[in-house]
Amino acid sequence: MFKKCVALVCFSVLPFSLMAWGVQGHRVVGKIAENHLTKKAKDQVAALLGSERLPLVTTWADEVRYSEEYEATAPWHFINTALGLPFAEYTGVVTSMQEPNAYLALNQNLQQLKDPKATKEQKVVALKFVIHIVGDVHQPMHVSRAEDKGGNAITVKYQGKDTNLHSLWDSGLLDYEGMTYSELAVLLDRPTPLQVQQWQKDGITQWLWESYSISQQLYAETAQNATFDYKYVPGHLPTVEDRLLQAGIRLAGLLNGVFV
């Protein structure tokens, strides 16, 4: 009941289709990341955030994006390309983009976070954007194609109701779990040491490529049948869970590398 109330409040405050992973998913990522921070990183993150906690600031970038001060950050939440690109070409396209996007924003905010000349206030803002964008780029429909606005313009039917492909992947699938973010983090946060090592070694373009590959599969499935039955969520939930876990582990790796 509590989670449903939270979802309804969020729906009234923000456009549902623009919140990657929704509040629930972002907080799961933040909690998993918090679990894997080194002591030094945890202390420095706490020093920057003050009374705020890492899992609870994960949605800050969504909350401020419609304010005048941060309206220019709207493109920081996604990156769109043409479909069907092989890895090498995709990487080249992503790294050469000049217009604002999630890849550029993540790297720029990481640089700000590392900059010894940056003020504490600047570093706090940069930290909150890094935390959020890492979650965003692990949501497949935030790494997709521009012509349908990352699936926002693709109407699908789920549980007999009309929604869109993007919204379903932001929060619809997670609602199925029926858990708090803390409970879900406990359930998911069981990676092997080898997985942690590999995921934290992967570059940001690899994270994007993984989401891009998944979004292509989702587009293909939807083109065949846009009416999803009861099998859709259980069939895709392992992918959602994998992306949340990978995002949390990789966010921890980034922050551990910054705060050494």
Q: How far is CA 133 from CA 71, 77, 141, 239, 247, in A?
A: 15, 6, 13, 19, 10
Contact between 248 and 29 under an 8 Å Cβ cutoff? The reply is yes
Contact between 56 and 24 under an 8 Å Cβ cutoff? The reply is no
Q: Which of 241, 214, 233 is nearest to 140 (CA)?
A: 214
pLDDT for residue 172: 67
Ordered per-residue pLDDT tens for the chain, 260 residues: 333 333 333 333 333 333 357 889 999 999 999 999 999 999 999 999 999 999 999 999 999 999 999 999 999 999 999 989 999 999 999 999 999 999 999 999 999 999 999 999 999 999 999 999 999 999 999 999 888 988 999 999 988 889 999 888 876 677 666 788 999 999 999 999 999 999 999 999 999 999 999 999 999 999 999 999 888 888 998 999 999 999 999 999 999 999 99
Single pTM value for the model: 0.90
Rounded to the nearest 10 degrees, how much is the dihedral formed by the CA atoms of 12, 22, 173, 161?
Answer: 20
Neighbours of 251 (CB within 10 A): 27
pLDDT for residue 178: 73
- Tell me the domains of the chain and their CATH numbers: 2-77+85-258 (1.10.575.10)
Find the helix or strand (DSSP H, E) in which 236 lies.
Answer: helix 232-258
